[in-house]
Structure 1
Amino acid sequence: MTPEELGQYLEARRLLVDEALDRYLPGTGDNPKEIHEAVRYSVFAGGKRLRPILILAAAEAAGGQAEQALGAAAAIEMIHTYSLIHDDLPAMDDDEFRRGRLTCHKVYGEAMAILAGDALLTQAFILLSAEIPSYPPLRKGGWGDLEGVRGSEARLMVIQEISQAAGSKGMVGGQVVDILHEDREVDLPTLQYLHAHKTGALIRVCLRVGGLLASAASEQMEALTIYGERIGLAFQIVDDILDLEGSLEALGKQAGSDLRKKKATFPALLGIEESRRWANRLASEAKQAVSIFGDRGAALAAIAEFVVTRRG
């Protein structure tokens, strides 16, 4: 897949995700209007929609259709946006800009921003537990050879996977370690744990959920899991680098915040060039993992390259 083809792919899938989000979120006219305005302000502030697109790409690689994973994709973006709203709060990272716009708490106040994040998290699980999207039964020989698993059971598996990835042993736990290690020296295992949980857990689960919804075979699930782990860590390493080298225009937020807050980052521990080598090696391993899908894995392979070459 050429860079131009990847650009077209990402844009087409982004539009699908945005249409799904518009359908599944309450409208700005729904009461209480203030909270729904704050929710939509944050969700539709822009963004690459990388996480939901990874769900769709994983489903397609495993032989499924993007449309059957759209509900889960929308839910993941709701969870991701909730985490950004809360990360930006004064008690956390205290950021003024996100995706090139004022952060939610700067526009609607801290209390409304907290509630907007809460609303998005709960709305995600309303969607995941609903009949829409319709969860297909797993095919014979599907993930873990769970022949005959019904739609309701597949739905429960998806909810469990996402809950674990977003909770205290996933994204939230990574954020805790991040806070506890501000202005403190960290070793490499601690830094890897931090990144693998704060950012990597939600990315990894996108690949697993996409595979599950497409009834991926066991070896396919293993490949998607490896890909998700490698890309999740590579993504955060590149974020660390961009925080030093990027700009407000490219990043959509103030650069240099990690340095100012003395956060634990790969460049701070290993230097920029070694961090780049880590990210590139991880991307190569991710591409190798999904080579088993042949042409159906082309989008995932191209996304791995995009993750480590992006400028924002």
Structure 2
Amino acid sequence: MNNLRDFLYLDSTKLQSFISQIHGGFINEITETTKQLGGISAGVNIGVLPVGGKIDASKGKESESKRTIQLTDPAYFDILYRFLRQEKILIEISESSKTDIDSLKVGDFIEIEGFAQPPVVENWIIKVKEIFTFFTKNISLFGANQSSKSKMISKQQMSQLKQILDFLVDFINISRKDPGRQYIRIALEYLDCNVWCGLLPEFIYSQLNALLPSKVRILGRIERKLKPDEVWKVVDLDQFSQSNQANQLLEMLNGLNAITGREISEEELQAQSPDFFISPLAIYQ
């Protein structure tokens, strides 16, 4: 079955809210469909589950099976997905769809395909810490093999750098916008822009840092479109009280990018036009 989805994220609260608005809550539709079919027995497929009812022909009465019907969240999602497609209110954004993003409006249901990165703030912190640890473990080698500032760094200076790093991480965790969300960035290379999604941790199915980066599909509603030249920062490092020391630290760590193959950039923490934001319902592959 090629249509099976591997969910990375599924917001069950939003999902059930949308489902409850379809045809009076959907359970009513199951009952009505069963009644209309009539006969000795009747059955109807809802999502991926069969639901049946029986008719007592001798007495001309309908008797319903005393069976608990439980739909899982992925089954509910399939119901909602097919409804959005049938009602032609789901906009597909892909390399082949040639969608004009300027025509999109806040509140539109969209499905996009793109290359998703791990949660930006969490991944940024992990990357800075890993490069700093790499630097501290190998500082003697850097000093022996090249004439660099690392040769002159004392234990006291290293301790101060570690304090600056810890202070910076605390500042990021306290000052970040929407601290209850984990923001991921999805690159739409065919539109030369990024889509940002704020994920609620309780609806994340797997460890995103282990699964991303990878190609994914996302269904959700447009939450915000940036104005021309607008920049939105998840974390504004310019507000950090020790910004000069932090810049020196990041510059020093970026000096190792030829060895580590990793670069630290403040731009990773900010969105800019024509980027836009989605309130995600589901992320899957």
Normalised TM-score (structure 2): 0.23
Greater percentage in helix: 1
Structure scoring higher RCO (CA < 8 A, sep ≥ 6) equals 2
Greater percentage in strand: 2
